[in-house]
Amino acid sequence: MNASLQTYAAMYQAAGFIPLPILSNSKHPACKGWQTGTTPEAFAMHGGNIGLTFGAGLFVLDVDVKNGANGMDTLEGLEAKYGELPATLTAETPSGGRHIVFRKPEGVKLGNRVGIMPGLDVRAAGGFIVAEPSTLDGKNWHWNDWQPDTGELPEIADAPQWLLTAISKPAPEAAERATSATGGTADAYTTRALERATSAVLSAAEGARNDELNAAAYGLARLAAAGRLDWGQCEHVLTRAARAAGLEDGEIVATLASAYAAGMASPNHEGEPDTGEEAEPLLLPVSVGDVLTNPSKPPRFVWGHYLPRGVVALLGAHGGTGKSTIALMLAVAVATGQELFGIETERCRVLFASFEDDGAIVRHRLETICKQWFIEPAELEGHLVIVDGTESPELFTTTARDAGSVTPTYTRLEAMAEGAGLVIVDNASDTFGGDEINRRQVRAFMRSLGRIAKANDAAVLLLAHVDKNTSRAGKAANGEGYSGSTAWHNSARSRLFMVRDESGELKLSHQKTNFGKVHPLLSLDWPEDGLPQLSHAQPGPVAADSGLLAELDTRALLALIAEFSERGEHVTTATTSRTHAAKLLASEPTYPKSRKPADVFTLLREAERAEYIERITYQGADRKPRERWNVTSKGREFAGLAATAATAATVQVTALSAQAADSCGDCGDFSAGVIGGKESAQVGAKVSAAPEQSEGKQG
C-alpha cells in the first residue's frame, strides 16, 4: 500500500470530503459500500487510487475531453453566452478536462447526470470523482491552487443560476428520450437492445436487480461507445427502470458510472446497419501453395501438450476433487519453470483469477505449495498474479434471448491478462451468467475467453464443475459429465478430466486435443499432509515393462542414490525441484536414459513401497527442513550393494562465510557447502560427520 495514499485520505477527511479507495490505474471503486464512506485505514487494504464523494451541499461539474466530445469547448460556449464561471476549487484530469466544485443553494435538488451536454457531466450526492494523487495510464489528477497537505481549502463558490438552470432542465418525455437514445437512426439492433435492457431491469428478481442493471448498462454503453446510442438518454431510461424496480439512487448512479466506463472501452459494432461501405470479409482465404516454403509456426504449449497457447482448454471435475489446488500448483510450476507431475512447463507470466474461493483461501493453498516445494514467495513476484473476483464474478451475462455480452469484470480481466502466457479462470459456474444448456450462449462465452488467449498467445484454462454421478459412471469421457451444453467441451481445444476412484487415487485424463495425440492417464496420490503427486501405480511405459527392465533400472537408480549418499550428496524426494532426482542423476553413465522423468519418479515410488528406499529429513544450510532419498539395507541387498556404506554421509552445514555464499534457488543450500544438493567441506563451511548407521539409516 502506498503510504501517501493513506495520508491523502486523512487530509481529505479533515477538509470535509469523504474519501474512498479506487482500484489502481482505474476509476472504479475498490470495494462495495463506498457510498457510506470509508476510513483512511481502509486504504491499507484496498485500492491504488483515491476518490471523493460529496455532501448534499456540493456538486462537481465534470468537464471531459474524450470519445469525440470536447467539454472544454461546450463550457467555453456557455461562458460566452452567460458569463464566466466564478473562481472555485478546480482540478485537472488526465483526459485534459476539469473537475469544477460548486456549492448549490439549499433546497435545490441535483442528481448525478452523464452527458447533459457534449462532454459535461454532473457529480452530486451519491456520485464520486477521482482525485489527486491518483493516476491513469501514467497521467495524474491534480488540484489547481490547493495542496491538501496544507489543510487550507480554497473558497468553494456558489454555482451561478445560469449553470443550475442548464444542468437541471427537466428531461423530455420518455418517448422522445427513447427515440433520441438511438441517435434518430433507430436501427433494429439498437432498438431491440434498448428494449431488452429496459425490460430486463424492470423484471429482475429481488437480489439480482443491481447485477441486471450493471449488465444492461454495460451493453448499452458499448453501443454508445460505437456512436450508435446517446448514453445520456440511455442513462435516463435505465435510471427510471431501476427506480421502478426498487433500487436506490446512490446504487443506481454508482452502477451506471462503472458500467459506462467499462463499456466505453469496448465499443460494440455488431449488427450495425448497412452503410454502403464494403464490410470486412466473414470468410478469410487460407494460403495453401506455400505451406512448405513458408510454413506456419508450430503450436506452443505451457505444460506438456496439455495446454496449447492461443486457445482455451477445459479442466473438469466434480466439486471437492481438488481441481482448484492442482490448478494453483500448475500456476506456480509455470511461474517458476518447474515440472509438474514430471511434465515440463514453459516459464511465463501467470494470471490466476479465482471467482469461487476468496483470496484468503487461495493464499492458504499457495502457502502449502511454497512450503512443500521449498519456494520463496518472493520468487513469484512479477511472475504470478492472483486476483480475487468473488465480489463480482460474472465475466459474461445475457438478457432475454440474446447470445450475451461480456461484463466490466471481463474487461478488467482482459486488461490484466496482457503479457500473460497462462490465464487460469476458476471457475465456469461462477463466471458464466447465461444459460448453461444454451449452446449459443456457451459458445459466445468460450469465444470471449478465446479472445484473451489469442490476443496474448496465452493458454487459457477454464475450470468447470462436472456432474458427480455421470463422472463416476465414466460418461464424462465423452463430454456427458459436463454440466449443461456439449458446447463446453466442443469449444475447448484441449480438455482434461479428473476423478477420484474408489481407492482414493486421483485420475487425471487428457480427453481431447486439437494438436496431436492425447497424453496418457496420470494417477495421483494426495498425502494427508502434502500435495497431489504421481502415484506408484502410474500407467504407461513403466507399467507395461514392469518386469526385468524395470527391475534393472530400479537397481541402477538405487546404486546411484547410494553412491551419491556415500559422497555426501543428497538426492531430493521432490518431483518439482529444478534439481530433482531425474535431473541430478541423468548425467551419470549408469542412469537409465530411456526413462522419462515421470517414469523415474514412478520407479522410485515403487521402490519406496517395496522398502528399498526411504525418506530422510535433514536441515539445509538455510536451516529449513529438507527431504532426501536414502537406500535401506533391504534396498542395498536388492541392488547388490555392500550392506553398509563405506563413508559417513550424514553431513550438516552449520556455518558459511558471506564471501562464499552463492544461493542455489532450488534447494535453499549454498554452493560453498551444497551445489545442486551436493555437500562438501570447502572454505568457510563448517562440516561435521556422524557415524554411519545401519539398517537403512545411512547418509
CATH level 2 (architecture), domain 301-534: 3-Layer(aba) Sandwich (3.40)
Exposed, middle or buried: residue 529 (CB in 10 Å: 0-12, 13-18, 19+)? exposed
Indicate the helix (H) or strand (E) that contains 663. Answer: none
Q: What is the mean pLDDT of residues 524-528?
A: 86
Look-up of cell digits 453566452: 81
Q: Which of 463, 546, 434, 51 is nearest to 254 (CA)?
A: 51
Q: Average pLDDT, stretch 337-343?
A: 87
Least confident piece of the model among 93-107, 184-198, 358-372, 418-432: 184-198
Q: 667: pLDDT confidence band, cut at 50, 70 and 90?
A: very low
The matching CATH number, chosen from 3.40.1010.10, 1.10.10.10, 1.10.10.60, 3.30.365.10, for 541-689 is 1.10.10.10
Mean pLDDT of 480-494: 69
Judge whether 177 and 235 are in contact, CB under 8 Å: no
DSSP, res 453: H
Cα 482 from chain centroid?
23
Please provide residue 329's backbone torsions phi and psi, each rounded to the nearest 5 degrees.
-60, -45
Q: Residue 620 is placed in which grid cell?
A: 539445509
Taking the C-alpha atoms of 564, 567, 568 and 574 in order, what is their torsion angle to the nearest 10 degrees? Answer: -10
The model's pLDDT over 39-95, given as tens digits with 9 standing for 90+, comes to: 545 554 455 788 888 776 889 999 988 766 788 888 888 888 888 999 999 999 988
Give the C-alpha separation, 387 to 392, whole Å: 12
- Amino acid at the residue 652: Q
Number of C-beta neighbours around residue 403 at 10 A:
16
Q: Where in the sequence of the chain do the CATH 3.40.50.300 domains occur?
A: 301-534
Exposed (0-12), middle (13-18) or buried (19+): which is 309, by Cβ within 10 Å?
buried
Q: In the block, which residue shows the cell 456540493?
A: 58
Residue keyed to cell 491478462: 417
pLDDT band at residue 616 under the 50/70/90 scheme = very high
The residues of the chain that CATH labels 3.30.2250 are 3-167
- Structure-model confidence comparison of residues 303 and 502, the more confident one: 303
Alpha-carbon gap, residue 533 to 109, rounded angstroms: 65
Predicted pLDDT of residue 614: 93
Q: How far is 572 from 579, CA to CA, in rounded Å?
A: 8
Distance of alpha carbon 100 from the chain centroid? 37
pLDDT one-digit tens code per residue, 255-305? 888 888 777 777 776 655 443 444 445 677 888 888 898 888 888 999 988
What pLDDT is recorded for position 31? 58
Please give the pLDDT value at position 169: 59
Q: What percent of the chain has pLDDT over 70?
A: 75
> Which residue do the cell numbers 541387498 mark?
637
φ and ψ at residue 529, rounded to 5 degrees: -110, 25
What pLDDT is recorded for position 633? 93
Per-residue pLDDT of 223-240, as tens digits, reads 888 777 888 878 888 888
Can you give the pLDDT at residue 160?
A: 92
Sign of the alpha-carbon dihedral angle for 470, 476, 478, 480: positive
Tell me which of 355 and 241 has the higher pLDDT: 355
Tens-digit pLDDT profile for residues 313-327: 999 888 888 999 999
Q: 161 to each of 54, 154, 217, how far by Cα in Å?
A: 20, 21, 32
What's the Cα-to-Cα distance from 338 to each of 87, 237, 376, rounded to whole Å?
62, 54, 14
Is residue 370 a contact partner of residue 376, using CB atoms and an 8 Å limit?
yes
675: Cα separation from own chain's centroid: 36
Cβ atoms 395, 429 nearer than 8 A: no
The residue that leads in pLDDT, 98 or 225, is: 98
Top CATH class of 3-167 equals alpha beta
Cα 124 to Cα 59, 62, 91, distances in angstroms: 4, 10, 16
pLDDT, residue 115, reads 67
Amino acid at 354: S
pLDDT score recorded for residue 559: 93
In the chain, ranges of CATH 1.10.10.10 domains = 541-689
Summary mean pLDDT of the chain: 76
Query: Average pLDDT, stretch 509-529?
Result: 85
Cα–Cα distance, 316 to 581 (Å, whole number): 31
Q: Is the pLDDT of residue 246 over 90?
A: no
What CA–CA distance (Å, rounded) separates 523 from 529? 18
**Residues recorded for the chain:** 699
Question: What is the spatial distance between Cα 441 and Cα 443, in angstroms, rounded to a whole number?
Answer: 5
pLDDT exceeds cutoff 50 at 183: no
Hey, what's the cell of 406?
461480456
